[in-house]
Structure 1
Amino acid sequence: MPSSLPAVLRPLFRAVTYTRWLHLLLASVAGILTGFFHYETFRTGGWMPWLWFAVLPAPLLVLAALIPVVRRVEGLQAQLLLAPGPHGRTARAASGIATTPSGSWRERGRTAVWLLMRLEVGVALSALTVQLPMLAGAFTMAAAGHRTHLKGLPAIEAPHWWYGLLAPLPLVLLAAVAVGAGALTAGAARLLLGPSAAERLAGLESRTERMLEHNRLAQELHDAIGHALTVTVVQAGAARAAGSPEFTERALAAIEDTGRQALTDLERALRLLREDAPRPADRPTLTDAERLLESARAAGSTVRAELSGPLEALPGPVSREGYRMVQEALTNVLRHAGPVPVSVRLAAGADALELEVCNPLPGMAAEPGSGGRCPGRGLRGIRERAALLGGEAETGPDGGEWRVRARLPLRQLRDSP
């Protein structure tokens, strides 16, 4: 699209303008088909048939909205014709239009409103698409000196050349209405066909799982490939320095085995990174927190736990990531402070999940990877997990203790519209 065009003309050079136009024209097909059952309307001509087209199909569309799959069909059509840009999987997911069948009466009601709105706007735009070019043609004929009297339009009994100045106006009006109606319909599709709270929660869960899995795979690849390259470089240098055929043979065998294992790790990671890869197995949640506490106790720590609130009712992403955050915190305690007393608090409230892990500070503060100015990967991962869910996490010394505290909001997941 030429960038030098004025902003008012740019929509006319966008493909989405015409796909939206087509989407609305298709909406009038139901009205035209039902209009055949009222044949008298066609004999009157003019604007009267369009009024019937906008009224007759309404009861049928309301009944159709009760069928769950209709919402899926309308969502797919809206994504393809109303959403601008590429139509890949990621782009369709970002369009804000759902493609799942109706799962509740609320969704059926929204689908019914969508069908009726699309019918009325589509019939109105279809009428203008037919009538306004005819009006432009009438003005052109009048400018050429011909009297015109098209059915449904005012008669021009006194043709004159200046009618030629009016000829472009109906077409300009049609283009403006088409662009505006298309934008309005696209916005209405996101509102009426958008994902429900349950669907948004499922989408958030899927994105969280995918992002965390990708981050985990990136770390594993870093470790595996880095290890393989290190072994390869060391073995190759040693073989060259040794000058022994026997040692060189062993070094080459080690390089071969290491490289083969690295290729296996790489192939496994690439399979999981593909969009059509199977979802990872079920992950533990905070209902399994006792497993973590027992593991810490088995390592020699004295664990004092305080669990409150309905942990089993937490949304999936929050419960799973909360489990991993507690796991990371306990792992850091054992790694940097050893088997010391640990206090764990989990509180599930109406608005947020609060978790806290505390242990005595001596012995841990001196570790470079334990936090402070040089935070370790585990503690940084806790903050990243909290931020991913819209929460916050703090790690560091507090009154002679090392404290990991996080707050994960729940209301936006449970009550999102």
Structure 2
Amino acid sequence: MSVIVIGMWMLVEEGKIYIPVLLLGLSGLVPAMRLSEGLQARLLLTGQGYKDSSSGISARPSADWGDRWRTVLWLEIRLALGTLTGYLTLHLPGLAVNLALAATGGSEQVAFVTVPGGHWWYWLLVPLPVIALLAFVVGAGELITVIARALLGPSSQERLAALEERTEQLLERNRIARELHDSIGHALTIAVVQAGAAKAAGSPEFTDRALMAIEETGRAALEDLERVLLVLRESEQPVSGRPTLVDTDRLLESARASGARVDAEVTGPVRLVPGPVSREGYRILQEALTNVLRHMGPVPTRVRIAVDDDRLELEVFNPLDRPVPPNGRGSGLRGIRERAALLGGEAATGPYEGEWRVRVGLPLKGPALPGNGARPAPGRGSV
């Protein structure tokens, strides 16, 4: 540091201070310089690790000319403040020593001023230069940290990218929460209904069928749970495909095994429904049937699935024999509307001609769907 300060001072004396200023300015235009300065500032100024992005200091190369010019300004301010700090670090301790020598007698050169020696009270002034140096260093550290956050902080593009990444994470967590709610909730509802029906029936034959239905539903729920856990663990193992409308038979049989009479009407090429629509349609149908069993029990239920060239229609009807949750309340109905909205569709739930109806319409073509033509959706079984 002393060599640098002496060299800088010699350049100032010779009127050539523009040399380091110009060199630093040119280096600040290099995109990688912002990355280097950001990492150093994180480590040296914030007391946090250089990998910690919460410091408010970016550690990315310059993305545009605005980032470059801010880096140039940062380097010039750092040069000026560093030169001043180095100068004071050399001279203020020397001033304290000179004051101590002057207090013992004789005349001493003290910061460009010759003071008469022999005054004992000079001892009282000896600590002041050291205290002033410490205060300046602390204040300069706080100042340069503020400047670093202002000049090396995230640009508008970086903030937007971080916001988009955070949004993607929240959407993924919300999707996983819906998957767990629909799959596990459906399995538990089936198990509770089956167990209650078997207990009330008092028939060994019916109890065996109920246990088989509970086993099958529980096995499917465990598969869904394992798939979600693999995603959460970021495992490199292959993850099995999510169920689609092609697997509707299994879903309907699960509801029928609970004692409900489910009549299904399917029209159109279900296998040609695009993957995203088919997967979300399956979950919507699963949640609608789960709500029927949870709130109404094993009552007669009608399911209609209609596929045409550009739209999928799902409808579930069940009797209104008892009070139901108000429209818009509950995570199940909210999840149905959210799934439909994400695909550009709409969902309506509520009483209709003396029955409770869940009606969902989903477009088969759109900006969020693959291509402008339908492609077969993966799945097992058939409708």
TM-score by length of structure 2 reads: 0.52
Residue in 2 that maps onto 1:206: 165
* Equivalent residue in structure 1 for 2:130, among 163, 171, 176: 171
**Contact kept? 1:82, 1:182, Cα under 8 Å:** yes
**Contact kept? 1:236, 1:251, Cα under 8 Å:** no
* Equivalent residue in structure 1 for 2:233, among 271, 277, 302: 271
* Equivalent residue in structure 1 for 2:178, among 215, 219, 222: 219
Question: CA deviation digits over 1:297-316, x for unaligned, max 9?
Answer: x99xxxxxxxxxxxxxxxxx
Question: For the structure 1 residues 127 and 72, does the alpha-carbon distance in structure 2 shift closer, same or farther, using more than 3 Å as the test?
Answer: same
CA distance in 2, matches of 1:170, 1:381: 67
Deviation, 1:105, is 2.2
Residue in 1 that maps onto 2:97: 137
CA distance in 1, matches of 2:130, 2:204: 86
* Equivalent residue in structure 2 for 1:112, among 72, 84, 97: 72
Deviation, 1:62, is 1.0
Deviation, 1:193, is 1.7
Higher relative contact order (CA 8 A, sep 6+): 2
Count of residue pairs brought into register by the alignment: 265
SS where residue 103 of structure 1 aligns? coil
Deviation, 1:178, is 1.6
User: Are 1:73 and 2:30 counterparts?
Assistant: no
CA distance in 2, matches of 1:159, 1:124: 32
Deviation, 1:182, is 1.7
CA distance in 2, matches of 1:200, 1:159: 63
Question: CA deviation digits over 1:139-190, x for unaligned, max 9?
Answer: 34444x2557468554444133322221221122122222222222122222
Residue in 2 that maps onto 1:371: 328
CA distance in 2, matches of 1:238, 1:222: 23
CA distance in 2, matches of 1:76, 1:98: 8
Q: Which of these two proteins has the greater Rg computed from alpha carbons?
A: 2
Deviation, 1:270, is 2.0
State the superposition RMSD in angstroms: 5.3
Q: Unaligned 5+ residue runs, structure 1?
A: 1-24, 43-47, 275-297, 300-326, 340-365, 386-417
SS where residue 188 of structure 1 aligns? helix
Question: For the structure 1 residues 228 and 173, does the alpha-carbon distance in structure 2 shift closer, same or farther, using more than 3 Å as the test?
Answer: farther
Residue in 1 that maps onto 2:273: none
**Contact kept? 1:142, 1:160, Cα under 8 Å:** yes
Question: CA deviation digits over 1:78-97, x for unaligned, max 9?
Answer: 1222225x4375x42x3332
SS where residue 57 of structure 1 aligns? helix
SS where residue 57 of structure 2 aligns? coil
Matched ranges for 1:401-412 at <5 A: none
Question: For the structure 1 residues 262 and 136, does the alpha-carbon distance in structure 2 shift closer, same or farther, using more than 3 Å as the test?
Answer: farther
Matched ranges for 1:90-129 at <5 A: 91-92=52-53, 94-129=54-89
CA distance in 1, matches of 2:110, 2:161: 55
Residue in 1 that maps onto 2:298: none
Deviation, 1:226, is 4.8
**Contact kept? 2:101, 2:108, Cα under 8 Å:** no
CA distance in 1, matches of 2:213, 2:324: 36
